[in-house]
Each structure stands twice: as structure tokens, then as C-alpha cells.
Amino acid sequence: MEWGWKKPWLVVLRVVIVIGVLQFQVFGRNSSNNGCFPEEKKSLLEFKSAYSNESLLPSWVNDPKSNCCEWERVTCDRFTGHVIHLSLQRLYKNQGLGNMALWCMNISVETRVNWSLFLSFKELRTLNLSVNCFHGFIWERDNRSKWTLKKLEKLDLSYNNLKQSVMEFLSALTSLNHLNLAYNDIGGLFPSKELSHLRNLVTLDLTANNLHGGLTNQATNPRDARRAFGAARYGALRAPPQLSEMSTAQV
């Protein structure tokens, strides 16, 4: 008879313990750095040092009391404290950038981004690296799975100078839904075999590149073709007739 009233209390006690453990895992383990994970904070500071103009990102400071989730251009998940959005556009590490209409062509120093700096952001959803005059990425081709961000959905690389070589790198980012490659001086045939790996892709902007080809073998109908073709109507590509005749409202 004793177990009849003791057992429910034991169940309740176990539930309370489990809830406490979960709360510690979510909220407590990153409390030592005031709401920002140490490895993510370290990567942000290294990125600033390597790629940002010194006059920008003043809130990004190497101070134990500084919460990187409160830094400009950084958004963290309010429950886990992990970085989920990064807006790292227009940082201009190298001075002397003229009219942006030149699409970074006058920059004499080639800057390649070390992709390993982003691997600590396991929960990253959105990354904007546009208008930075980057020429490519540093990564290991022999270990592609190591270099992917499994939750990255939106990537903006517009207004850089990445050219065709960026395609191989992008093929490893299979979780992407939205990809902007406008104004990158990318040449060659479209669709490329590298883009075929991005099976979750919904929108693709290829405005003002030097690609040629069509989507007649890639899309089942003009509506799907227009969506995949991105900004073909702006002259990024030579679009098939059925795409040129469609209006934006039809997409």
C-alpha cells in the first residue's frame, strides 16, 4: 500500500530533475561568456581581424564581459544562445574601393575567406558576405563533408569577384534554399554540374554574370524554370524564349 502513494511522487521528482538538466544544457552551459558560446565568439573576432575595416564593427571587442549576441550584425537564438544570422556585408578590409559599379575589379589584392571560421556556427541559418570584394574561399577539397554547414539556408555572395571557381565550393553546401551570386564575373555553362548538388535550392540570383545555357533539361515547366533561373530577365543569362515571355507575377 505504501507504493500506491509514493510512486507518483517519485515520477514527479524524476520529471523535475530531467527538466532541470535540460534547462542547464540550454541556458546554463554558455553562461560563463554572458550568453555567447566561446568558440563562436572567437570565430567572430578572428573574422573581424582578418576581413573587416578597422573602423567597422566597434561592438566586436575581445572582452569577457562582452556578449557577442548583442553585437551589431549578429543574431543569436534566444533560447540556445547560438548564432543563427550573420550580416557581414560591406566590410571593405582593403581600402581604395572605387565605384561599386566596377564590381571590385580594381582591387589589386586578392582576398580569400577562410571558411573554417564559420564551422563553429553549427546553428547558422543565414550568412550575408555581399559587397566585400572576396575572390574565393579557403577550404579542403578532399574532405567536403567537414566543410559544410548543415543548417545554412540562405547565402548572399553578391558583389564579390568569386568567378567560376566558387561553384565547386558551393556544391558542398547542400542545405541551401536561397543563393545570391549576382555580380561575380562567373563564366561558363549554365546549369553547372556543381549546382545540381543543391537539391534544396528554391531561389538563385545570377544577375550580371557571364554564363550561357538554358534550363530546358532541368525544369518540367516554364514556372519552375523561371524560379531556378533567378534573374535571367536582367540579362544575367541568355534565357530560353519561354522564360523571357514570363512576367515576374507569374513566378
pLDDT tens for 158-209 read 999 898 888 989 988 999 999 999 999 898 888 788 888 899 999 999 998 9
The segment with the largest mean pLDDT, out of 144-148, 193-197, 220-224, 230-234, is: 193-197
DSSP-derived 3-state class of residue 110: coil
Helices (H), the chain: 2-23, 38-51, 166-170, 222-229, 241-244
The pLDDT value given to residue 19: 62
CA-CA distance, 202 to 20, in Å (whole number)?
40
Lowest mean pLDDT among 144-153, 203-212, 238-247: 238-247
The pLDDT value given to residue 11: 60
The segment with the largest mean pLDDT, out of 19-23, 30-34, 181-185, is: 181-185
pTM of the model: 0.74
Lowest mean pLDDT among 33-42, 90-99, 106-115: 90-99
Q: How many CB atoms lie within 10 A of CB 70?
A: 12
pLDDT tens for 58-107 read 999 999 999 999 999 999 999 999 999 999 999 976 655 455 545 576 66
